[in-house]
Amino acid sequence: MIKTKIALFDAKAYDIESFNSTNREFGFDIKYFENRLSDDTVSLAKGFNVVCAFVNDTMDAKVIDVLKESGIDLIALRSAGYNNVDLKASYNNIHVVRVPAYSPYTVAEHAVALMLTLNRKTHKAFYRTRDNNFTIKGLLGFEMHGKTAGIIGTGKIGKCLVKILKGFGMEVLAYDKFPDEQFAKEEKFEYVDLDTLFNKSDIISLHCPLTKETFHLINVQTMAKMKAGVMIINTGRGKLIDTKALIEEIKSQKIGSAGLDVYEEESEYFFEDFSATVVEDDTLARLLSFTNVLVTAHQGFFTKEALATIAHTTLQNIKDYFADSKLENEICYKCDEKVCVKQLKGRCF
């Protein structure tokens, strides 16, 4: 029996370790490429059955055409987000599967880590005490207990965050296009419209997908509706925030602090080492210059448990495809429009 051949792009050492370990159960033939998938590297996929891609790989119409011509049957995303895939171009050409919930606790906990670090300024205290500076001036924080958190997006990650913040004794407001009122009743929080959430929240955390509707959801107009000194947390997608507008509002002190695990143009920098060079992206450099902005390089997913789940779900998705089983984690542009036929046929097309 011929083994299914997988081309895994943008492979890091931790990807190779987790996929090799999990693949003992599946027995696929996996080749790892350090290169990101793009128009320049798509030719490497020739001779494979599956392309396995991550968040900074490019799967636009041009790349998908080449993948189709090269005989690729399946794009297996090892991520929850899929905004880097042209789903209209892939429809009726190449099936696309993803990992919708690798570990919602992992990302929710990272969002809380950003909140606590920004609030209590533990990152600053760390460097002070290493220099034998034990003053606490400038490290003043606030009690999260009793404050109001606004959570935009209550999928699996957002729901985990609701539970954590309720545990801190915070009031929680939430917005979701498809609210889960039963969950809200159980956890004792309230769904509100976006304007109300912006107006009343002390901390706002983003956990919604990137769509046409949510692109630059945080912008000049929406930030004007927020409390002065509000904290903004983004562990979702970089383009949920208009970064240049955010910088201006931080400078004006309208925005009190920001914790960003993602960035609009992160594909140029995140997951790579530029410590020996100068950051040429002026917007990113400006963000990094603020003492009240904490940037982490898309590490919200990065736990042992999440990596194991990502590898297993990805390989199970591939196994299901070639076994002609129902593709539980397939996505297409009609899925977003709620008119996909998958529920009836088991596959999007």
Output the domain CATH number for residue 92: 3.40.50.720
Work out the number of other CB atoms within 10 angstroms of the CB of residue 304: 11
Q: Which of 14-23, 96-105, 146-155, 170-179 has the lowest mean pLDDT?
A: 96-105
pLDDT digits (tens, 9 = 90+) for 51-61: 999 999 999 99
Same domain, 266 and 142: yes
Same domain, 123 and 144: yes
Is 266 annotated as catalytic? yes
Is 344 exposed, middle or buried, given 0-12, 13-18 or 19+ CB atoms closer than 10 A?
exposed
For residue 140, the 8-state DSSP code is -
Mean pLDDT to the nearest integer, 229-251: 97
Q: What are phi and psi for residue 260, nearest 5 degrees? A: -120, 115
Distance CA(223)–CA(247), nearest Å, equals 11
Torsion angle of C-alpha atoms 244, 249, 252, 253, degrees rounded to 10: -130
pLDDT digits (tens, 9 = 90+) for 113-142: 999 999 999 999 999 999 999 999 999 999
Distance CA(36)–CA(70), nearest Å, equals 17
Distance CA(158)–CA(188), nearest Å, equals 14
Beta bridge partners of residue 191, listed in sequence order: 174
User: What residue has token string 């300024």?
Assistant: 121
Same domain, 133 and 199: yes
Same domain, 160 and 206: yes
| Marked catalytic residue, from 98, 266, 312, 330 | 266
Mean pLDDT to the nearest integer, 145-150: 98
Work out the number of other CB atoms within 10 angstroms of the CB of residue 12: 13
Distance CA(328)–CA(346), nearest Å, equals 7
Q: Are 295 and 288 in contact (CB under 8 A)?
A: yes
pLDDT score recorded for residue 1: 57
Provide the residue range defining the domain that includes 328: 5-102+303-345
Domain count, the chain: 2
Same domain, 92 and 110: no
Same domain, 58 and 144: no
- Rg of the chain over all Cα atoms, to the nearest angstrom: 21
Which has the closest alpha carbon to 14: 34, 44, 29?
Answer: 34
| Marked catalytic residue, from 95, 237, 249, 264 | 237
| Marked catalytic residue, from 249, 298, 312, 330 | 298
pLDDT digits (tens, 9 = 90+) for 292-314: 999 999 999 999 999 999 999 99
Q: Are 146 and 171 in contact (CB under 8 A)?
A: yes
pLDDT score recorded for residue 161: 98
Same domain, 279 and 208: yes
Same domain, 186 and 124: yes
Report residue 268's pLDDT band, with 50, 70 and 90 as the boundaries. Answer: confident
pLDDT digits (tens, 9 = 90+) for 165-204: 999 999 999 999 999 999 999 999 999 999 999 999 999 9
Same domain, 135 and 205: yes
Distance CA(240)–CA(263), nearest Å, equals 9
Record the tokens describing residue 285, joined without a space: 């450099």
Same domain, 77 and 225: no
For residue 226, the 8-state DSSP code is S
Same domain, 89 and 188: no
Same domain, 259 and 123: yes
